[in-house]
Amino acid sequence: MLWVKAFHIVFVVSWFSGLFYLPRIFVNLAMVPADSPAERERLLLMARKLYRFVTPIGVLAIALGLWLWFGFGFTGGWLHAKVTLVVGLVAYHLWCGRLLAEFAGGRSTKTHTWFRFFNEVPVLVLVAISILTVVKPL
C-alpha cells in the first residue's frame, strides 16, 4: 500500500500543478490584444495540451485515492470533508475545460481579473485537503 500512497501523492501533485497553471494561461488569453491572433493560438494550443495531459493524471489520482480509502477503510468526518473537496476539484477541472472551449470558440467574456481570482481556487482547496489529511480535525 505504500507504493499506492506514493503514486497517489505524485499524481495529486501533478494534477494540482496543471490546475494551478491552466487558469494562469486563461489570464494571459484574456489579456491578448485583438490584433494578435498568433499569440492567442499559441496560448490556446498550450492550454489544450495541458488540459489533455492533466485530465488522465487527475483520474489516476482519484483512482489511487479510492484504492487507499477502500484498502485502509478510512473513516471520519475529515474524510467526508476531503471527498467533498475532491468532488469540487473535479467540478473545477471540468469548468476549466468549459472555459477552454469558450476561449477556443471566441465566446469568453470574463476579464483577466476574474481569471486571477479563479486561479486561486485550487490553492485554497489544496490547503484545506492537506490540513484535513494530516491533522484530521473532524
pLDDT in tens, 48-103: 999 999 999 999 999 999 999 988 877 788 999 999 999 999 999 999 999 999 99
| Per-domain boundaries in the chain | 2-135
Asked if residue 123 has pLDDT above 90, the reply is: yes
* Structure confidence at residue 108 as a pLDDT band (50, 70, 90): very high
How much is the pLDDT for 130? Answer: 95
How much is the pLDDT for 75? Answer: 79
How much is the pLDDT for 94? Answer: 98
How much is the pLDDT for 138? Answer: 81
Find all residues with CB under 8 Å of 23, minimum gap 6, and list them. 96, 115, 118, 119, 121, 122
Q: How far apart are CA 37 and CA 14, in angstroms?
A: 30
How much is the pLDDT for 71? Answer: 86
Q: How far apart are CA 124 and CA 44, in angstroms?
A: 26
The structure's pTM equals: 0.94
